[in-house]
Structure 1
Amino acid sequence: MVQWPRRAILGGGLALPALARARATGVQAAWPSQPIKLIVPFAPGGTTDLIARLVATPLQEKLGQPIVVENRPGAGASVGSLLVAQAVPDGHTLLLSNIASHAISPALYGNLRYDPVRDFSHIALLTLNPSVFVAYPRAGIANLDDMARLHRERGLDMASSGSGSSNHLLIVRMGSILGREFNHIPFRGAGPAMTAVIGGQVPLMSDSLPSAASHIRQGSVKAIAMSSAERHPSFPDVPTFREQGHDVVTSSWFGLSGPAQLPRPIVDRLSREVSAILDTHSTRSRLAEIGGSAGQYSPEEYAAFVASEVALWGPLVRETGAKPD
């Protein structure tokens, strides 16, 4: 049985300058004293961006300072992640950490300049969700059998939000199962990738359910398979991979992190406020609508979760033979 959860390997540690530590200590009592940057390591329009904005609006109301969502895509989410790892740990620069930035890319890219565990303060798990294969409606692909037949006949292109994403790895895995690699088309985010599929430039895409949900409902793409263990209650008409003869189950995850040595009072405040946001009916309803489920991990639990993801994804990346595009 092929399980598609999580994990990766380690990079190199970052030395935090003494000046940065001193600055962080000096400002923590007044935190937050200025707008907070929330770095999203993917382009606008994808699940990472969507989750960041879903949490940022209520969080800025609770903290009394604006939260500026800043998209910094590139290299499997490692560009934006490195920026946060190197930031002063004063609570004014945070990261929407995710399975790509902290579990897959460290295994996929051998020269990352951050360690996904040691170089971050992991604060809260926000959500987990399945992946979905979607097709251009006029591509003649209604299910995985159609996809497999056409792929064996002529080879198919398949888009994703970028190299190093869990959806990239799912494409590689399915190519291995079918005995022919897909031509992976990496974009700088799920939004641009979905635009290409809707426009017919690429026939297929592997996407996280939250960013694909509205397009599936609108009929601008055809959902052909869901990576959940059972049919998703919000999309009961979309069959799973298992139902179609492929025992593949996978999920992606998104959380909130900051630089290493973030002062504990700031970590605790953020954890408390995020937990309250995830507990609200409006947030849970919105997550259910887009196919996600709220996470409720303490900082220690989320840090342990990230470490466990790191431990599993490295072997899985090597097993698939995935390479950066």
Structure 2
Amino acid sequence: MGDDTISNRSGRSALNRRNFIKAAGVGGVALSAGCLGSLSGQQEWPSRPVEVISPWSAGGGADRTSRAVADAAENHTEVSWNVSNQTGGSGSVGMNAAANAEPDGHTIGCTAPEIALFEHLGIADLSPEDITPIMQYTEFPAALVVSEDAEFSTLDEWINYGKDNTLQMANSGFGSSWHMAAAGIASEAGVNVEHISYEGAAPAMTAVVNGEVDCTAVGAAEVAPQVQDGGLTALGVAFDQQVDALPNTPTLANQGLDISIGSWLAHFAPAGIDDELKQELADVYSAVYEDDSFVEFMENNDFIRVERGPDELQDFLDQQYEFYGNLVDELGIEKQ
């Protein structure tokens, strides 16, 4: 994953069509949205509020960034965009709800590497083939964090403790991207770990702060506020360079652990939407990606912006499916 970007502007976005309707009205031509829809052979989109389903709990990266996307999307459509949290099954409950919704563009799902993991781990019969990719908009390098009151405050101390003791390590659900990141880091470090699942990154971090578990590996941008304000100590970032979210935290590689792993977020529509609607969604999302409010939110919260449109995202998802299948085998993680 990198900073590579693509543009998916067809020139016929929902916004442009709305401007046509307004212009026609000024000129005295009485065209309603319904009439225009019948002329084009398709119902006007969007014709009612759009729901974005975040498959993890409020406060995590998926929830916060999806709300930023929804807020920006309201600047480019004439309906409200609402985010609902449907948690469970390491994200499979919410993703299944979105994947199985009516393919009319009014239900959007948020996805992450889990979509490439479910089948490999026997969590759900859900894979990249079951969705219509719209846009990836961010990536999250994993950060290894412990409580600020932990008896280990450096990576070396954490490794030494974990070789003689079993570390309880929180994650955002069995088979989640943060489970994979935690397992990968623990395997590279050669420490003993018991993985404890929670319904999202936010409750996993809270468990570390409260002393319920010893550590967790979640997104650098997600943990940054609690590292900066107190509660958590970041031991390292699993990335090829230091990140703005944790400017004083070295990479794991620079400390002897050669691993780069994390997560990413993208939005999708149900499978089966027609090509015209898919393009309209892509046009709106292209506008959202460049929207001032969205850019400001991402920058202010140190979320890395990465844009992949429908076609590139589909290729990326296929690659992720193969990558995580191999990782599950390498780590010896058994199916549920």
Q: Distance in 1 between matches of 2:228 and 2:192?
A: 29
Q: Distance in 2 between matches of 1:173 and 1:282?
A: 35
Aligned to 2:100: 86
1:261 matched to 2:272? The reply is yes
1:132 matched to 2:143? The reply is yes
TM-score when normalising by structure 1: 0.86
Once the two structures are TM-superposed, the CA of residue 208 in structure 1 deviates from its matched residue by: 1.2
- Cα 1:28–1:90 change in 2 (3 A) is farther
Q: Distance in 2 between matches of 1:27 and 1:314?
A: 42
Spell out, residue by residue over 1:77-118, the C-alpha distance to the aligned partner (whole angstroms, 9 max, x if none): 111111122211011111011112x12223222x6223x232
Once the two structures are TM-superposed, the CA of residue 277 in structure 1 deviates from its matched residue by: 2.1
Aligned to 2:302: 291
SS at match of 1:141: coil
Unaligned runs of 5+ in 2: 2-37
SS at match of 2:75: helix
Aligned to 2:47: 33
Larger Rg: 2
- Does the Cα contact within 8 Å between 2:165 and 2:192 map onto a contact in 1? no
Q: Distance in 2 between matches of 1:204 and 1:135?
A: 4
The one of 74, 91, 95 equivalent to 1:60 is 74
After TM superposition, which residue ranges in structure 1, 4 or more long, deviate above 3 angstroms? 25-28, 178-181, 288-291
- Does the Cα contact within 8 Å between 1:27 and 1:90 map onto a contact in 2? no
Spell out, residue by residue over 1:124-166, the C-alpha distance to the aligned partner (whole angstroms, 9 max, x if none): 1111120101111111222211111111222111111111222
Q: Distance in 1 between matches of 2:323 and 2:69?
A: 28
SS at match of 1:126: strand
- Does the Cα contact within 8 Å between 1:77 and 1:105 map onto a contact in 2? no
Q: State how many pairs are aligned.
A: 299
- Does the Cα contact within 8 Å between 1:144 and 1:224 map onto a contact in 2? yes
1:195 matched to 2:206? The reply is yes
1:322 matched to 2:336? The reply is no
Q: Distance in 2 between matches of 1:52 and 1:126?
A: 10
Aligned to 1:164: 175
Aligned to 2:119: 106
Once the two structures are TM-superposed, the CA of residue 313 in structure 1 deviates from its matched residue by: 1.1
Aligned to 1:224: 235
Q: Distance in 2 between matches of 1:71 and 1:40?
A: 5
TM-score when normalising by structure 2: 0.83
Q: Distance in 2 between matches of 1:130 and 1:214?
A: 15
- Cα 1:54–1:268 change in 2 (3 A) is same
Unaligned runs of 5+ in 1: 4-24
The one of 257, 264, 285 equivalent to 1:246 is 257
